[in-house]
Chain A
């Protein structure tokens, strides 16, 4: 027993150290994670204050069971869908643990513990939120204890479920399990329709795990004893997930494992993303091969723009942008009936138009970083290379939202000017800043910084440079500026954005000389 525990501890420590070890690669990684944690802590603090105040004023949180259940259902649905990949292990785990005396049980237990540890680091502030609410509302120790138990069990429930279903899918590969799980996922999400449209089924009346958890947590947050049925229901689901995990892991599960190259989400995730990119290329090249890069008499600049556009078609970037904005279109049309949803729609657009250039640049990094040695060693003028890249990003990130906005201006909202200014500015400023920041991190000693943190940092920087556009749009909305004022200011903002675009392009050209790969 002691020997098994010691082996479990060793496997656990190795797994955690390997995943979190990426932070040691660069001091800036540590700094960024601290910034992230502080950001989330303050966000949770604000949320905690609002919730506490609302409860103090007598708000009954249990009326939000449907909304909260929908959120938990979404988490469960993601866990179920993620399990479709089967029992995935990292290649180092296969060669290090599967060839040793580590048993499947020790491996599974260590995996769940390490997942829980990593989860706790990143979602720890949410536990701080629970603590803050408990203290502010002077909840009884029994209630607080129960609150934390339910929260921890919820995390464990998701982990058990994901692990068990992954094993089930790998062990019974050719069975109908996938179809059953898809039906379960649909059923799990179906009542969420009620949040948008009148729908006869609601979470509150269903024996879903998400409903039980939502009811329990919301009651506990209000300092009330949760209904016994909620607690019993949730514990039954929790125990069932554990039994399912035990059942699935009875076999020699190592035989069913699919090894993938190791990636830490905090460092070399580019490896994992490269694998995913390969899958995307296989999928999208079926359409993408209709557009070919032919040998024509055209300038190198135009040729390179064409090459980038082809990349974005074949790696699915263009498709992702389309999906992004189609969601905006659907949300906008769906909320049209709910009165004047223009501010909400504008807000979604502001977020999306900032995210799209970041996504495009990140996809470029994943797909092209490894082959960047080709232009870098060719002797070509790197100014042409990077400017063509930026123009290609702008060519994708402007026309699609503009098209959607024009459609929407006919369908839902009368004034397309503000959204157009927002989208064009965000595209020009976002693309140039994202690429600049990305290239900055390719300089000496900065390579190990995780991609998601680079994106996060560049989103912050873009927001700063986009603030004139945001401020203007807000002012125009609040004070209802006349169309001529909007038109003149919009033109001014687009000129300003173009200057920022040119400024960062120039900076980019200088930085390109210092890239080290």
Chain B
């Protein structure tokens, strides 16, 4: 499988705080890739740099082979993004928001209409079509943002804590949509704290700690790296890896 996302030696600092210290990642086409790590590990920072909301201090990021520094606009046409705290234009109705999202992505009008109908149904938001975003619950806003991110059929969907605030039925539906997309050869890149979700959803994960990748691979290879037993859960593997790293750092 070819690579859809390549991150090489990524560095980022906020004043005195070094958020990323030479992060390296490779995400393959057609997989669900999870980025996991403790609070402050640099997950959200990495995602924000990939989608162009933050600048990087040093490093290279390629999306579908395009260097994002060289082509700061073009690559965004192929990605969809949903942040952790979804803030949407509250004065628009849900339908208007999706029209807006489609228009700025320059999707033809007939396709916008068709896809809005499809995603409103898929995310069970049909009855909220003409409601103001302001009146939607947090979970509904999350689903609306996801619908907007999928509207242009991106080859890489980047999601920060995608299932937080969404009810179990909604979570199930989202997982189904993710699976359908992966079958079509699209890639999902998620950052999450929910290790059980990552374990069940992701084909591969990368564990990052203090801005560095400390391990990556599928669950079985992570078990090998962490020297946990064959039945170890991702949580156990994660705890082992991060504790080792903390001990190392202390040393």
Contact = CB atoms under 8 A, between A and B. Distances in A.
B55 A378 contact: no
A379 B81 CA distance: 11
Contacts of A295: 99, 109, 112-113
A385 B132 CA distance: 22
A371 interface: yes
A286 to B, nearest CB: 11
A444 interface: yes
Given A377-B76, A377-B81, A293 B89 contact: no
Interface in A342-394: 367-368, 370-371, 373-382, 385
Interface string A283-313: 0010011001111110010011001001100
A278 B100 contact: no
Contacts of B100: 293, 307, 374
B96 interface: yes
Contacts of B246: none
Interface stretch (A84-92, A115-123, A486-494, A509-517): A509-517
Chain B interface helix/strand/loop/mixed: mixed
A278 B90 CA distance: 8
A380 B105 contact: yes
B77 interface: yes
A296 B148 CA distance: 18
B99 A278 contact: no
A517 B85 CA distance: 12
A291 to B, nearest CB: 11
B52 interface: yes
Contacts of A277: 90
A278 B105 contact: no
24 contacts: A278-B90, A281-B91, A281-B134, A285-B132, A288-B91, A292-B96, A293-B92, A293-B100, A294-B99, A295-B109, A297-B109, A307-B92, A307-B100, A367-B89, A367-B90, A367-B91, A371-B88, A373-B53, A373-B87, A374-B104, A377-B79, A378-B104, A380-B73, A444-B55
Interface of A: 277-278, 281-282, 285, 288-289, 292-297, 300, 303-304, 307, 310-311, 314-315, 367-368, 370-371, 373-382, 385, 444-445, 513-514, 516-517
Interface of B: 15, 51-55, 72-77, 79, 81, 83, 87-93, 96, 99-101, 103-106, 109, 112-113, 132, 134, 148
Given A281-B134, A304-B103, A314-B91, 16 more contacts: A278-B90, A282-B134, A285-B91, A289-B93, A292-B96, A295-B109, A300-B106, A311-B92, A371-B87, A373-B81, A374-B88, A374-B101, A378-B76, A379-B77, A380-B105, A516-B55
